[in-house]
Amino acid sequence: MIVNSFISKGLLGNPAGVVEYYDDMPTEKMQSIAEIINLSETAFIRKDPLNPNCFLIRWFTPTVE
């Protein structure tokens, strides 16, 4: 999914990729997906298995975490 970030109204803002995942995903796969999405930021989010009220977030650019 691609979302517009840092906006308060309309379709302005910076596009960012968002990938929700449920099981462990290797860093290499996340980096590969971020490279394919090719936006300045791609966030990988999942519920924290130790605290289901929280999320774990990792950020990647097309080249580095």
pLDDT digits (tens, 9 = 90+) for 4-26: 666 666 666 778 899 999 989 99
Dist. CA 58–CA 48, nearest whole Å? 12
pTM: 0.81
Q: Check residue 16 and give its pLDDT.
A: 85
Q: What is the pLDDT of residues 30-57, one digit of tens each?
A: 999 999 999 989 999 999 999 989 999 9
Burial code of 31-64, b = ≥16 C-beta within 10 A, e = fewer? bebbeebebebbbbebeeeeeeeeeeebebeeee
Tell me the sheet residues that pair with 14: 5
| Residues known to be catalytic | 41
Looking at residue 10, its pLDDT comes to: 62
